[in-house]
Amino acid sequence: MTMTADTSARYREFKMPDVGEGLTEAEILKWYVQPGDTVVDGQVVCEVETAKAAVELPIPYDGVVHALRFDEGTTVDVGASIITVDVAPGSDDSAAAPAAPAAAPAEPVGEADDAAEPKGRQPVLVGYGVSESSTKRRPRRGAAAVPGQGAAASAGAAIQAEMNGHAAPAPVAEALTRPLAKPPVRKLAKDLGVDLTTITPTGPDGIITREDVHAATAAATAVPEAPEAPAPAPAPAATATPVAAAGGRETRIPVKGVRKATAAAMVGSAFTAPHVTEFVTVDVTRTMRLVEELKSDKDMAGVRVNPLLLIAKALLVAIKRHPEVNATWDEAAQEIVLKHYVNLGIAAATPRGLLVPNIKDAHDQTLPQLAQSLGELVSTAREGKTTPAAMQGGTVTITNVGVFGVDTGTPILNPGESAILAVGAIKLQPWVHKGKVKPRQVTTLALSFDHRLVDGELGSKVLADVAVVLEQPKRLITWA
């Protein structure tokens, strides 16, 4: 009994936390540590991908890594132990060390481990956060070792990232000069078999960008290779890579992460909410002129002004005029829930797949504020930094399919939302204007809505109002 207590106190199991709202699993993308490495409170030990975002997980205590419970590319249930840490290295009870199975079964969160949570900590996105009395901080990459932590701790922390991928440990001097790159860029480099240490960074502060990785790949492809020395392929995760069938006629790609979540959401939406889609073609010449005028307006300095900004504002005005469209269907309670706020979703195509983060309380924002929010939302999504919280609570969505050169589409609703507006490409077309055929800038809008919530009249009025605002932007003043 005494040995069990000592072992429990010495070895701590860090379980997969719920990094989103109600998520049940996450895929381990990358380990930044290996068994034997020294870790400190708050240090990131791995990167995981959920159905909503890629998140780095910090360890909530000091110690030495005893075992990694899962390999990279493995999908792990929330509550399953993913790493064991020896919080009292050097103790005499080494014989009591727990075994390191290949996979640990998921356990209910909130039982025995509750008592093991550090005192004074508050729940955060992942882990337990830093205790109030703690003065330790995660060391910066490339920074000198903090005095008093010992050579073993500083050396272990410096080389952990280099050990990821099961390579031989690099010398401490090399680890301290580890190339700077964001997790999505590191994953891209790993997938393409590119060594980050061979890339010259072009990003700010010496950060390697996606463009740098692609450029290195193109350069490597252009260099002729010896016929007898084929290039070695990178070692991929066992469960995460496409598998080519015999003869190369088919390739099977595992469905996981964002793609898996998107598929489930779209199927659920398509077969739950009765969709109706209406279309309207509109002359947006005046809106395009206003876009050009706003670009030189001093109040819009420092923000990006584009047609999407005014389209978003037009939709917000239409919702203000017809608030009944901003609702959701509560199947369990058999109620229609009217939303007195608008969290405006913007569909964004990213390297990880389709994401729909939303602008909270977009209805309260001025045009410059909305422009800033749109810019931040898009840049964050493209950098792979969109958080699960940013994709929760949307009420209506805009998807700009026009950027791909298509006229329009029939978009599927995001689950829990009442409407989604698709915007087609803006093209110069012949148009009857003031009784004469003239070249005008024209686009086609498509509004899909949940027919349980929105009847044909309401949906038509909302779409017509958006079109009128885009055709006559002065309505932004008279109607708002």
Task: Tokens 């889609």: give the residue.
Answer: 277
Cα 153 from Cα 62, distance rounded (Å): 10
- Residues counted in the chain: 480
With 0-12 / 13-18 / 19 or more C-beta atoms within 10 angstroms meaning exposed / middle / buried, residue 233 is exposed
The amino acid at 48: V
Cα 408 from Cα 445, distance rounded (Å): 7
End-to-end CA distance of the chain: 72
Q: Catalytic residue, from 66, 275, 433, 451: name it.
A: 451
Is 451 a residue of the active site?
yes
Q: How many other CB atoms sit within 10 Å of the CB of residue 90?
A: 7
Contacts of residue 294, Cβ cutoff 8 Å, sequence gap at least 6: 300, 305, 367
Q: How many other CB atoms sit within 10 Å of the CB of residue 428?
A: 10
The catalytic site residues sit at 451
